[in-house]
Amino acid sequence: MVELVDLIDDLTTKVTALAWALFLLSWSLGWAIRGAPIPSSKIKKVGNSLVEDSMWAALWLALGTTVFALIVKAANIVSQALLGG
């Protein structure tokens, strides 16, 4: 049972790290495109869209990280109850 808890903890850590990396990449690209001296307004709109989308991603990352933390906590409680430790 401890192996399952470790697997859940490891998986949640990796998923959260990947999500944060993607968030930071899109946020950085959005600001870079938005502030670039490009005469095309369509490209700047793409930058604005990336920045807005990254703000939504930050919200969902916060909520998802909270859910993952609750899952790991529940798995720890269940494994301790089953193992009696």
pLDDT for 52-62, tens place per residue? 887 888 888 87
Which long-range CB contacts under 8 A does 53-59 form with residues at least 24 apart?
53/26, 54/23, 54/26, 54/27, 54/30, 57/19, 57/22, 57/23, 57/26, 57/27, 58/23
pLDDT for the residue 45: 81
**Distances, alpha carbon 74 to alpha carbons 56, 78, 83, in Å:** 27, 6, 14
What tens digit of pLDDT does each residue of 58-85 get?
888 878 888 888 888 888 888 888 877 5
d(CA 81, CA 68) in angstroms, rounded, equals 20
Whether this model's pTM surpasses 0.95: no
Domain of 7 in residue numbering reads as 2-83
Burial of residue 16, with CB atoms counted within 10 A of its CB: 0-12 exposed, 13-18 middle, 19 or more buried = middle
| Count: domains in the chain | 1
